[in-house]
Amino acid sequence: MPIIVNLDVMMARRKMSLNELSEKVDLTLANLSILKTGKAKAIRFSTLEAVCKALDCQPGDLLEYKDE
């Protein structure tokens, strides 16, 4: 898939664990894990907003397009 999710990179930069992020954005570990591993097929804007707020970043910091 040409959309790359850089959630793990941003979490590492902010020194935040998946458990910590899960609590801050009120999402299950399973759902965040799917997003983190790039297996998600979609993301709600409300989820993207919550993750960006928790990690103090922009959507472009989390999502990247690479042409196959």
* Domains, the chain, ordered by start: 3-65 (1.10.260.40)
* Angle at which helices 45-55 and 18-25 cross, to 10°: 120
| Mean of per-residue pLDDT scores for the chain | 94
- The residue-averaged pLDDT of 45-60 equals 96
- The residue-averaged pLDDT of 19-45 equals 94
Angle at 47 between CA 19 and CA 36, to 5 degrees: 50
Residue with the bigger pLDDT between 68 and 26: it is: 26
Q: pTM to 2 decimals?
A: 0.89
